[in-house]
Structure 1
Amino acid sequence: MRLGRYSDVLQGIAEASPDRPAIVSRDRRLTYRRLAEEAGAVARYLQQCGVRPGDSVALYCYNRPEFLVVLHACLATGVAPVPINFRYRATELRDLLRDSAARVLVHPASLGSVAAEAASALDRPPARLQLDDDGTEPPAGTNPPDGEAAAAVAYRDVVAEPGELPATPPPGGELRLYTGGTTGRPRAVVWDADHLLEGKLFSIYTLAGLEVPETVEEAVAIAADGTPRVATLPLAPFMHGTALFTSLNTLVLGGTVIVHATPHLDAEEALRQIHDEGATRLVLAGDAVALPLLTVAEQAPAGLGQVRSVLSSGMRLSDETKRRLHALAELSIVDLLAATEGGPFATAVSHGVDDVPAGLRLMADAAVLDDDDAEVQHRVGALGRLAFRGALPKGYLRDEAKTRAAFPVIGGRRYVVPGDWVRVLDDDGHIELLGRGSAVVNTGGEKVYPAEVEQALLDHPYVADAVVFGSPDPRFGEAVTAVVVSAVGASIGLDDLADHLGRRLAGYKKPRHVLVRDSLRRSAHGKVDLASLKQEAAAELLETRQAHR
């Protein structure tokens, strides 16, 4: 049998090494046998719900062992798993449920109110599979419609009844990952599940110093050997490709995924898991995750324990943070430049303090395209758009026009071109990232499109005008910042404005800074001098910080 699917290898490991720990969290420990058993039970439940190959199952939850169980069940049965940002509110969730045509919605009990509200607004509400969690209260403003909360089926009841996975998945399976993109409307990037594993062989095996297997049997034998031991703690959410794929890759190697099962980072709990479970690999989302972890790790005698590699993607991991990580352990840091649509495009790798700063270097399948779509990555000093021509997704779900734009065929080869501009620095493939030709704000690894936030601000009766942009932030890379103008005769209450936005936007989209002005000084064409406004905002924010010291 050729090597083609994650689920084939995982089922093989369940037979060859059934008692090996596959997924562990604070409250649960799943062996590979138990992972297969629970996935089989979930597969039976999905079939009873009328879910067929090609249908979508939405995963609206933070990192939990059950997330990976449902993911395995979907991939093994040809059903398309659809991770969705657990920070979304009901209206945002509803739009993605409708867009993905989800037949089942998986969510924790603490988000039951949001899930019920979103599902009830659809003409064809999905069935709801509810996970137990710690009883965290749902966000304010998300009360469920009467009688809706009781409609969910408990996950614990589903897995109490046996079920089986098919010997191998039907062809044509997909993984659908939503990306915020730069248009304000999330789009699902469709990956071909039949060939997904084949596109990850380099990162799974070659980087670990292992021979690349050619069959499922060879992959299972490598996993059964268990060398090197891999125990991965993703501190970035599974809804992001890096954490999701790294976790799947860990399981394919017969390793253990350590799940930080909480909607918010608990740095002390994460460090305890690092030590107690012997984590060897961490997945971070830049300084937003690394800095709180460092604060507690630097006070611990064992530092970062057995961690030997750190993978970060989605936002800036500063040089100072890298130095602090290297000071705690003998580890390698891979700072990854990637996108939901493909990659990795480039990496900055450091093995110790002396390697910092480490510049971004193009991966083998990456390219730089000039204005004529010619590859210029071998021309020192060239400017161009970053591109990738390795393993790529099919495109965007039901959006052929945007698929053609983002995945052009040039000279007979298919690329993904996300829009980042770079400068080629040397003959070794080092590049300088110049930025994206859009106003998207990257805060803590989350993409925020200003137009969406501006519209939410303008929906407030006391806001006459608004503009949103990113301001530098030492932890999150950028902080969402809004400059607003009061309506004539009105006075904007910032607490009231925050409550207003909280009912419409996910928390990470809400402006961290709100500045009130008499006017945005728009030109005759309605344009705002954004550069000047950013400078003024930066000066005001700096003055405020200094005043509070």
Structure 2
Amino acid sequence: MADVPPSSGDLDRANYATIWDAVARAVPDRVAVHADGADVTYAAFEELAARLAATFVAHGLGPDSTVAIFMYNRVEYLTTLYAAYKIGAIPVNINFRYHGAELAELLEMSRPSALVYPSSLAAAVVGAAGRVPLPGLVLVVPDTAHDDADQAVGAADAVPPVPGVPFASALDAPPLPPHPRGPDHKIFMFTGGTTGRPKAVVWTHGNLFDSQLFSIYGSLPVDVPTSLDDVTQVAAREDLPRTVCLPLPPMMHATALFNVMNAMVLGGTVVFLTAARFDPRAAVRAVEEHGVTRLVVAGNAIVGPLVDALEAGAGDISCLNTVLSSGMVWSDDLKARLIAHAPGATLIDIIGSSEGGPFAYGVVRGPDDLPSRPRLAPGAVVLAPDLTPVHDVGETGMLAYRGAMPLGYHDDPARTAETYPVIDGVRHVMPGDWVRVLGDGYVEMLGRGSGVVNTGGEKVFPGEVEKVLLALPGVVDAVVLGLPDPRWGEVVTAVVVTAPGAPLTPEQVQDEVGRRLAGYKKPRRLYVVDELARSPSGKVDMHRLRRRITEVEVPVLVDPVAAPDTAPDAERTP
């Protein structure tokens, strides 16, 4: 993939709705979305969004109004997004696993003028309605066939009355005619990160499109477009490889949403699975049946079950040419197992965040590219705590990015100033990810600074310990964190999930970590659990996990042995 310039020239005035309108005019009969066994052409998709946009306007929505989308991946999600873009409204992504109180909190924070949700999540909406007023326009998508183990129920099972009116009724309005839209309309990306409390990162259409140029055009044999006409011509070309995108994580996760949006810029087809619950065998069948070329995953959380299904003979995924993941642990062993089934695919492990980036890419085109090493993206740098550049091999620093980025956090100027510092007159984004410099642009990921364990004055980055744990036979998932200790401040604690019938002993953990890392990095407390209860985007709510292991779970190992006070070197052991 070629580097892409940091600016798109005249195209930085673009808006996604304007681009999609132009693509729909250029390829009206091409399939935009395949969902629930039906195809929706670009012309039909644009008309659906235009009708919904007209209903939004009739209910008083306009620029900067917020539209809450509480839904799984399905065509109505994308239609709502498009309709919001058409009127300059701000779509608000909501985790579909939320229950009533959690939903109420986010509705209170985002103050939406409209809410769109499926009937299978009616119970949560009813629960939220008992805590906060619902917006004036509430649209219900009938989908009792779609379920989710955590909370979904059929509409008939919810507490009556089910709030809202049928989504289909909002499509009766005459289509809103296309009209010019600028690049300054906003997009919210609510992210809980590892804290569990949602916060909104605010993008503009222009900056988001600029930041996505590499992802959209970097793998194509074309010049980077500099005008809307150029974008449309690329999308309409029949000689270019057709993009068929299947997002396996939910679109409330930025990686899935942005890649779906990118596919539509290219005039590609987006494929949605039928059920909300992730079914790896269904995913394999969809790849094979629809000739999916671009698969969006969420690291080990998705790839693990997927390769298990492939190795059990679920189907053929050799049509893939790209598999993308961002911001999640994706171990080399799973990359090797996946590429064995998709030998023509390029695996792209993106180091990024909702706050901005990309910071680095780990690219695997075949077994010879393993072990994978992330390399800094154009515009990315490594900075010391004093915000000076770090260049020397072996030194550590924080990832930063200079380029198109969000405006900051919604209604949080203090956090915005901290995460988006201006250095030597240039605005940077620094979410707090630490790396070790390896040379020639390569870096080793160490972890988010907020998760660093301070044990007896030594700093332990969870990411490097997790990498060792995930390489142990039988370990399928792992998280490392610090727990309070009266002497050392914190002790390194590992929480792992093992495969059925694969016992894990404390000795294995300590021996393997001690063999590859300094002694003070060895976990002193080990918890073996059935699952880590990751979110659909693959993240772990660290607050809940801490409560769980301190109040419920029993550690396999608690090592109170203290090292001599005179041991100042890296092997000091708390």
Check whether TM > 0.5.
yes
1:471 aligns with 2:495: yes
Partner secondary structure for residue 445 of structure 2: strand
| Cα distance in 1 for residues equivalent to 2:316 and 2:303 | 13
Q: How does 1:325-364 map to 2 (within 5 A)?
A: 325-329=338-342, 330-364=344-378
Comparing 382-391 and 35-44, the one that deviates more: 382-391
The residue aligned with 1:293 is 306
The residue aligned with 2:572 is none
The residue aligned with 1:536 is 558
The residue aligned with 2:120 is 110
Shift of 1:26: 3.0
1:92 aligns with 2:99: no
Unaligned runs of 5+ in 1: 455-466, 476-497, 521-532, 538-549
1:60 aligns with 2:70: yes
| Cα distance in 2 for residues equivalent to 1:448 and 1:35 | 42
> Structure 1 residues 333, 179: closer, same or farther in 2, change over 3 A?
same
Partner secondary structure for residue 206 of structure 2: coil
1:185 aligns with 2:208: no
Q: In the alignment, residue 414 of structure 1 is paired with which amino acid?
A: R
> Structure 1 residues 469, 112: closer, same or farther in 2, change over 3 A?
farther
The residue aligned with 1:235 is 248
| Cα distance in 1 for residues equivalent to 2:165 and 2:147 | 19
Which of 394, 403, 416 matches 2:429? 416
| Cα distance in 1 for residues equivalent to 2:426 and 2:539 | 40
| Cα distance in 2 for residues equivalent to 1:289 and 1:277 | 19
The residue aligned with 2:318 is 305
Which of 248, 257, 271 matches 1:258? 271
1:198 aligns with 2:220: no
> Structure 1 residues 225, 292: closer, same or farther in 2, change over 3 A?
same
> Structure 1 residues 241, 147: closer, same or farther in 2, change over 3 A?
same
The residue aligned with 1:528 is none
Shift of 1:409: 0.8
Shift of 1:396: 0.5
Shift of 1:296: 2.2
| Cα distance in 1 for residues equivalent to 2:136 and 2:56 | 11
> Structure 1 residues 195, 432: closer, same or farther in 2, change over 3 A?
closer
Partner secondary structure for residue 115 of structure 1: helix
> Structure 1 residues 305, 353: closer, same or farther in 2, change over 3 A?
same
Q: Is the 8 A contact 2:304 2:334 kept in 1?
A: yes
Q: Can you list the C-alpha shifts for 1:344-402, whole angstroms capped at 9, x where unaligned? A: 111111101121111111111111111211111x3222211111112110000111111
Q: In the alignment, residue 271 of structure 1 is paired with which amino acid?
A: V
1:8 aligns with 2:32: no
Partner secondary structure for residue 39 of structure 1: helix
Equivalenced residue count is: 479
Shift of 1:447: 13
Q: Is the 8 A contact 1:421 1:434 kept in 2?
A: yes
Q: In the alignment, residue 86 of structure 2 is paired with which amino acid?
A: A
The residue aligned with 2:55 is 45
Give TM-score scaled by structure 1 length.
Answer: 0.79
Q: How does 1:395-474 map to 2 (within 5 A)?
A: 395-426=408-439, 428-439=440-451, 471-473=495-497
The residue aligned with 1:128 is 138
Q: Is the 8 A contact 2:194 2:540 kept in 1?
A: no
Q: Is the 8 A contact 1:37 1:162 kept in 2?
A: no
**Aligned-pair identity (%):** 38
> Structure 1 residues 394, 261: closer, same or farther in 2, change over 3 A?
farther
Partner secondary structure for residue 348 of structure 2: strand
Q: Is the 8 A contact 1:43 1:74 kept in 2?
A: yes
Q: In the alignment, residue 22 of structure 2 is paired with which amino acid?
A: G
Q: In the alignment, residue 261 of structure 2 is paired with which amino acid?
A: L
| Cα distance in 1 for residues equivalent to 2:405 and 2:550 | 45
Q: Is the 8 A contact 1:232 1:282 kept in 2?
A: yes
| Cα distance in 1 for residues equivalent to 2:302 and 2:539 | 17
Comparing 6-15 and 403-412, the one that deviates more: 6-15
| Cα distance in 2 for residues equivalent to 1:279 and 1:351 | 18
Shift of 1:70: 1.0
| Cα distance in 1 for residues equivalent to 2:213 and 2:346 | 20
> Structure 1 residues 125, 418: closer, same or farther in 2, change over 3 A?
same
| Cα distance in 2 for residues equivalent to 1:409 and 1:101 | 31
Partner secondary structure for residue 285 of structure 1: coil
Shift of 1:190: 0.2
Shift of 1:40: 0.6
| Cα distance in 1 for residues equivalent to 2:557 and 2:182 | 56
Shift of 1:140: 5.5
Unaligned runs of 5+ in 2: 1-8, 453-461, 471-476, 485-490, 500-529, 560-574
| Cα distance in 2 for residues equivalent to 1:513 and 1:412 | 43
| Cα distance in 1 for residues equivalent to 2:113 and 2:478 | 27
Q: Can you list the C-alpha shifts for 1:430-486, whole angstroms capped at 9, x where unaligned? A: 111122232499999x999999xx9xxxxxxxxxxxx997613469xxxxxxxxxxx
> Structure 1 residues 112, 202: closer, same or farther in 2, change over 3 A?
same
> Structure 1 residues 22, 432: closer, same or farther in 2, change over 3 A?
same
> Structure 1 residues 450, 383: closer, same or farther in 2, change over 3 A?
closer
Which of 355, 374, 381 matches 2:388? 374
> Structure 1 residues 519, 277: closer, same or farther in 2, change over 3 A?
closer
Partner secondary structure for residue 425 of structure 1: strand
The residue aligned with 2:180 is 168
Shift of 1:182: 4.8
Shift of 1:516: 7.4
Q: In the alignment, residue 293 of structure 2 is paired with which amino acid?
A: T
Q: In the alignment, residue 208 of structure 2 is paired with which amino acid?
A: L
> Structure 1 residues 350, 157: closer, same or farther in 2, change over 3 A?
same
> Structure 1 residues 387, 126: closer, same or farther in 2, change over 3 A?
farther
Partner secondary structure for residue 71 of structure 1: helix
Q: In the alignment, residue 47 of structure 1 is paired with which amino acid?
A: V
> Structure 1 residues 439, 516: closer, same or farther in 2, change over 3 A?
closer
Q: Is the 8 A contact 1:219 1:252 kept in 2?
A: yes
> Structure 1 residues 361, 100: closer, same or farther in 2, change over 3 A?
same
> Structure 1 residues 273, 162: closer, same or farther in 2, change over 3 A?
farther
The residue aligned with 2:287 is 274
RMSD (Å), alpha carbons: 3.5
Q: Is the 8 A contact 1:5 1:196 kept in 2?
A: no
The residue aligned with 1:317 is 330
| Cα distance in 2 for residues equivalent to 1:416 and 1:195 | 13
> Structure 1 residues 534, 205: closer, same or farther in 2, change over 3 A?
farther
